[in-house]
Amino acid sequence: MKQFLLAPSILAADFARLGEDTAKALAAGGDVVHFDVMDNHYVPNLTMGPMVLKALRDYGITAPIDVHLMVKPVDSLIPQFAEAGASFITFHPEASEHIDRSLQLIKEHGCKAGLVFNPATPLSYLDYVMDKLDIILLMSVNPGFGGQSFIPGTLDKLREARKRIDESGYDIRLEVDGGVKVDNIAEIAAAGADMFVAGSAIFGQPDYKKVIDDMRNELEK
Ligand code: DX5
Ligand code: ZN
């Protein structure tokens, strides 16, 4: 597995040509497809469901798909996304009535599981579930929309999450989502992240490969 994973967020892709645009971001060097699910209830926006994910698989997308559930309730959608072809499923702990059960449900359906932390959600939700996590995702914006600015306080929170992961001894990815750009990815990595979601930074530019190459160059500095 690569040291750093880049996950283009297709929230910023051209929805009228989603298969093509997703394939283009992967061909440009994206490792993982970040798939944002919003329900107009947990967050004030509405995006895509399992049918869209299945359509991407049917189109021929074979890369891992990282499903970021911004929905409440959580559990009813887990089997549907797993069957549609999700690889990772992450959810916000405050949106689940039974966090441990939701994590187990994800695993039972053969996917890797993770928790997502909003900027003001405490990391104490990690206390009793580290052994069940494959990913910890820290939001560096408030969830619901692409194109927002990175909240600088996330850097300290990343350092704290990195410490918890290292002390736990478990193999857990530390993912960051929101406002990740070429000019801040190096300091985000230095704070401990090893998986980077980028939506507008990639899809907002004509040359996806240039952005992704520039991000990798920053990570290798
Ligand atoms: C926001 C989503 C993000 C979003 C990031 O709620 O979870 O994944 O697509 O977009 P950018 O990279 O534009 O901040
Ligand atoms: Zn996301």
pLDDT tens, position by position, for the chain (221 residues)? 789 999 999 999 999 999 999 999 999 999 999 999 999 999 999 999 999 999 999 999 999 999 999 999 999 999 999 999 999 999 999 999 999 999 999 999 999 999 999 999 999 999 999 999 999 999 999 999 999 999 999 999 999 999 999 999 999 999 999 999 999 999 999 999 999 999 999 999 999 999 999 999 999 98
Give the chain's largest Cα–Cα span: 45
Q: What is the pLDDT of residue 61?
A: 98
Q: Is 183 assigned a catalytic role? A: no
Q: What DSSP string describes 131-200?
A: GG-SEEEEESS-TT-SSPPP-TTHHHHHHHHHHHHHHHT---EEEEESS--TTTHHHHHHTT--EEEESH
Q: Report how far residue 198's alpha carbon sits from residue 192's, in angstroms, rounded to the nearest whole number.
A: 17
Q: Can you tell me which residue has the tokens 């441990």?
A: 100
| Ligand 1 pocket member 104 (CB < 6 A) | no
pLDDT score recorded for residue 141: 98
> Which are the contacts of 198, defined by CB distance < 8 A and separation ≥ 6?
6, 7, 8, 9, 180, 181, 185, 211, 215
| Residues less than 5 Å from ion ligand 2, measured at CB | 36, 68, 177
Main-chain phi, psi angles of 115, to 5 degrees: -110, 145
The answer to whether 127 is a known catalytic residue is no
Is residue 92 a known part of a binding site? no
Q: How far is the CA of 36 from the centre of ligand 2 (A)?
A: 5
pLDDT, position 113: 99
pLDDT at 221: 85
Q: What is the pLDDT of residue 145?
A: 98
32 C-alpha to ligand 1 centroid (Å): 14
Per-residue confidence (pLDDT) for residue 2, from 0 to 100: 83
The pLDDT, as a whole number, for residue 50 is 98
Q: How far apart are CA 43 and CA 45, in angstroms?
A: 6
Indicate the fold that domain 5-220 takes in CATH: TIM Barrel (3.20.20)
Atom of ligand 1 minimally distant from the CA of 147: 13
Q: Ligand 1 pocket, 8 CB below 6 A?
A: no
How many angstroms is it from 180 CA to the middle of ligand 1? 9
177 annotated to bind ligand: yes
Asked if residues 203 and 13 have their Cβ atoms less than 8 Å apart, the reply is yes
At residue 214, the pLDDT reads 98
What is the value of pTM for the model shown? 0.98
What distance in Å separates the CA atoms of residue 217 and residue 186, rounded to the nearest whole number? Answer: 9
